[in-house]
Structure 1
Amino acid sequence: MFKDFKLVAGRPVYIQVKDYLKNLIVKGALQDNQKLPSTRELATLLKVSRNSVISAYAGLEDDGFAYTVQGQGSYAVSTSPGSEAASSWNIDWKSRMNGHARLAEELDIMKRGIRAEKGTISFTSIAPDESLFDLDNVKRAFLDRMSVEGNILLNYGYAKGYKPLIEYLQQYMEHKGVNMKGKDILITNGFTEGFNLVLSALSRKNGKVICENPTHQTAIKNLKLHGFGITGIPMERDGIHLGQLEKALSEDTYDCAYFVPSYHNPTGIVMSPEKRQGLMKLMNQYGVPVIEDGFNEELRYSGSHVAPLIATAGGGNSVVYLGSFSKVLFPGLRIGWILADQELIYYLESIKRAQNIHTSTLDQSILYQYLYNGNLEKYLKRARSEYKRKYELTLQCCKEYVPFTTLSGDGGLHLFVTFAQGFNVRVLLEACREQGVIFTAGDIFFTDGGGQHTMRLGFSRVSDEDIRKGIACIGRVARQLMG
């Protein structure tokens, strides 16, 4: 005993000794009321200082795993249940899962996706490039905010969100052309929580949602988990097909619509201003509320700013806007927001409070201070420049190597490739994986089971050399499969 103890650098020695002894007690290697070695003896056995052992014994006693008898030493306190019947009873949890849990597992593509082996060139991610993260200014924002109100930030916050951040975002959205009269903001843990909050609040009179086809896979998953039927409308080069949208609206009734007008996931298309106007006209005509996903709006590489749908709606309250800086700044902070009518936010605040009390106040405050310090525009300028360069390289390589039918992507962090009908991208993916290249098969983004001839290429975290090598491999294998 005591021969398997190994010190780990960077952690207090006495805590390592305490945790080691605690583990021995929990496993039964040290029995209830068994005398522990003297502090001097254990220090010799573990090759640590006696003071470290003394502190470890004191910590064990504080945690209820040891007790001391004056003049006799320290003794172990067992935590085992003592009853064979209690310790051996097992539940078959799989059989107790409800339909919601089973559907969530079924739709969880992360569990079934291809894992990138070491050295694999992966085009599956559309997360930001970590090498661009503005670490020094994030540290400064943290220290600035903690020095102002550190005690408050470490306590409970408000379900609606951190007030300075809400006020900043209100101005931020005004600068996008949004009429803020009668509207309010609720801070969320990224896009996904915001989407779920809205869906959980909406009544399901018809149980149907209309959206673009293809669309954001996370949105598809959560719509299905909330019990909505999904009608997908095909895309054109400048956004959703308005003629087919009007036809669908005239033939059925929908509880809401979900659209990604800017740098659409997965196609990368930016909906034209004219189409945005036509879209909102149809939504108003048929009385369908819109959930707008503000995905990647900031990552435009050329052309003028295009106003979000909620700005197009003017003083109306029919659009619920879901915003997030996750793909633009730092996904680890998990900060998003819902901008909507005050009445809706009033109810969503109560739902959020019931679900998770509030979004991390510390995270919100760091983001606020980072934005307040004027770092966003400087960071965006650098990020746009780098991502634009990678975008143009990826575009050039696709045109040079890949036998595509259509190629879309006006900016953002990905391109969408469509091959001829009948071509199976899953077969291409498997063949490429064997050569060390993976990407995202496009069928997961389609609402109707289609898209077997499509794929998404995320380039944000891929080096220039790997972009060239990876796309050349995809093109070569695709041509071989085509014969």
Structure 2
Amino acid sequence: MFSELKINKDRLVYIQLKDYIKDMILKGMLRSGEKLPSTREMASMLKISRNSVMYAYEFLQDEGFVYMKKGRGTFVSDVKVDFQEKWSIDWEDKINQYGKLSERLDIIKHEAKWEKGMISFKSIAPDEKLFNVDEFKKAFLNRMSIEGEKVLNYGYAKGYRPLIQYLLKYMESKGVCTKEKDILITNGFTEGFDLILSCLTERGDNILCENPTHNTAIKIMKLHGLNITGVKVEKDGVCLKDLSEELKKNKFKISYFIPSYQNPTGIVMPPENRVKLYNILKSYSVPIIEDGFNEELRYSGTHVSPIAAFSGSGNSIIYIGSFSKVLFPGIRIGWILADEVLINYLESCKRARNIHTSSLDQAIFYDYLNQGNFEKYIKKARRVYKEKYEFTLKCARENIPCEEIFGEGGMHIFIKLRNISSRKLLERCCKRGVIFTPGDVFYVNDEGYDTFRLGFSRVSEEDIKKGIMIIGQEAKKIGGWT
């Protein structure tokens, strides 16, 4: 029976042997007291080193599956495996409303899926080809040599202190006053937004946001049972007139806005509108959650400060930052900058959920940032994405019959078609190997049927041109244009 073990070169040999013998014992194929082949016999039979067999037997002994008799060999322990009658549960019937709603709102599962060979405009993740992996390796080795034992142990719920200090200075460089404020490190934007809503809202509360807005934010707001009011987005950002009207009609617990490279429209709200937005919400005492989405990717025009900078020493703005859409989304490092009192509660909430964000990831990321690598990276990224943005915009204007194209940079543009269903267009484009994100998933109501988002960050210029030509051809066919 041991000869049936096929050794995989990708795994340690002794672990494969250990797991194989353990599996046979648990299945009753090797019984209590049965003698195993000697280490020499097993090594010869499997054509592996005797040391590998010895290691496997030692680990099995440590785990209580075998015992050794000096001079006699290795024997199977009396492992009790009492198999009972099959017991099955209908888990579909057990899922609560939160679980069912999460599944229904999961666009990764329910939207059109990318298949190998397709041109995909779905992603707005950074292009991994721009990552400086060598510098990241150096940061890893540096941190491990300095405090490897520490960062491999439990950390603090608030986060890795050197990274917190770095991010406080980083926020100050954006013009934000950090006096009597603090930072909580999170697993990206998603956890940060969820923590804030968990601490500040109750089911049935009213929340105000842009329409359209970040799909993940919509999902989280719905999962918290909030009543979402979306205010339309215009060429300069959220419509301030409509915002004022909504505030007159209803009382809102909190608000959520993406002023820079708004997802999905890509619009950058001008400074004067940010000030007006702040003062309107201030007059109604509605706190602001500001999403710093892709703020770092501004590659045209002058610097635009976040809304958090306009509040000065005030504490009404909760800023959620993340490098995930710009750099290394795989390590999921984000942060919340807010009043010290609020951070204190958010810290406890995070500790109750997942104890802390990976200390190792935070430490490596801090070392990478502290060596000045981010500044070098972002300079290169801005240049590359600017070229892709301008090329994508040119191709879209030349090929796609549309009413308007939104977007001022970043990694995506947003297109409003001429009375054409973007889902109908998507269906036809998928058959020709092109996929994008239909715009209705970004709306809090039933609007946006004629819109879609094009992410270009990970698409080559050749595929951008080819893919947009196909989208344009199919749109013209649907619309009856030639």
The answer to whether residue 457 in structure 2 is matched with residue 460 in structure 1 is yes
- On the 8 A contact 2:203/2:226 being kept in 1, the answer is no
Deviations 1:64-87 (A, max 9, x none): 2222233432233475631423xx
Give the TM-score of the pair, scaled to structure 2: 0.96
Instruction: Pick closer, same or farther for the CA change 1:436–1:31 going to 2, 3 Å.
Output: farther
Q: Residue 375 of structure 2: SS of its match in structure 1? A: helix
Instruction: Pick closer, same or farther for the CA change 1:60–1:376 going to 2, 3 Å.
Output: same
The answer to whether residue 310 in structure 2 is matched with residue 318 in structure 1 is no
Deviations 1:209-255 (A, max 9, x none): 01000000000000011110100000110100001111000000110
Name 2:477's counterpart in structure 1: 480
> 361, 364, 383: which is aligned to 2:362?
364
> 94, 98, 111: which is aligned to 2:92?
94
Query: Which residue identity lines up with residue 371 of structure 2 in the other structure?
Result: N
> 139, 142, 151: which is aligned to 1:141?
139
Q: Separation in 2 of the partners of 1:409 and 1:90?
A: 52
Deviations 1:100-127 (A, max 9, x none): 1111111111111222211111111111
Q: Residue 52 of structure 1: SS of its match in structure 2? A: helix
The answer to whether residue 160 in structure 2 is matched with residue 157 in structure 1 is no
Q: Separation in 2 of the partners of 1:138 and 1:446?
A: 38
For structure 1, which segment, 223-232 or 311-320, has the greater mean C-alpha deviation from structure 2 after superposition?
A: 311-320
Name 2:60's counterpart in structure 1: 60
For structure 1, which segment, 364-373 or 70-79, has the greater mean C-alpha deviation from structure 2 after superposition?
A: 70-79
- On the 8 A contact 1:442/1:452 being kept in 2, the answer is yes
Name 2:69's counterpart in structure 1: 69
The answer to whether residue 222 in structure 2 is matched with residue 224 in structure 1 is yes
Aligned-pair CA distance for 1:366: 0.8
Correspondence list, 1:161-240, <5 A: 161-204=159-202, 207-240=205-238
- On the 8 A contact 1:204/1:255 being kept in 2, the answer is no
For structure 1, which segment, 458-467 or 439-448, has the greater mean C-alpha deviation from structure 2 after superposition?
A: 458-467
> 284, 287, 303: which is aligned to 1:286?
284
Name 1:107's counterpart in structure 2: 105
- On the 8 A contact 1:26/1:78 being kept in 2, the answer is no
Query: Which residue identity lines up with residue 375 of structure 1 in the other structure?
Result: N
Q: Separation in 1 of the partners of 2:188 and 2:348?
A: 18
Deviations 1:235-285 (A, max 9, x none): 110100001111000000110000000000000000111111110111001
For structure 1, which segment, 199-208 or 375-384, has the greater mean C-alpha deviation from structure 2 after superposition?
A: 199-208
Deviations 1:323-342 (A, max 9, x none): 00111110111111100111
Instruction: Pick closer, same or farther for the CA change 1:22–1:227 going to 2, 3 Å.
Output: same
Seq. identity, %: 57
Name 2:18's counterpart in structure 1: 18
Q: Separation in 1 of the partners of 2:27 and 2:206?
A: 54
Aligned-pair CA distance for 1:203: 3.7
Mark the runs of 5 or more structure 2 residues left unpaired by the alignment.
none
Q: RMSD across aligned C-alpha pairs, in angstroms? A: 1.5
Give the TM-score of the pair, scaled to structure 1: 0.96
Aligned-pair CA distance for 1:19: 2.1
Q: Separation in 2 of the partners of 1:76 and 1:389?
A: 67
Aligned-pair CA distance for 1:32: 4.0
Aligned-pair CA distance for 1:457: 0.7
- On the 8 A contact 1:206/1:255 being kept in 2, the answer is no
Q: Separation in 2 of the partners of 1:328 and 1:9?
A: 37
Aligned-pair CA distance for 1:205: 8.5
Name 1:47's counterpart in structure 2: 47
Q: Residue 338 of structure 2: SS of its match in structure 1? A: strand
- On the 8 A contact 1:7/1:16 being kept in 2, the answer is yes
Name 1:439's counterpart in structure 2: 436
Mark the runs of 5 or more structure 1 residues left unpaired by the alignment.
none
Q: Separation in 2 of the partners of 1:47 and 1:173?
A: 60
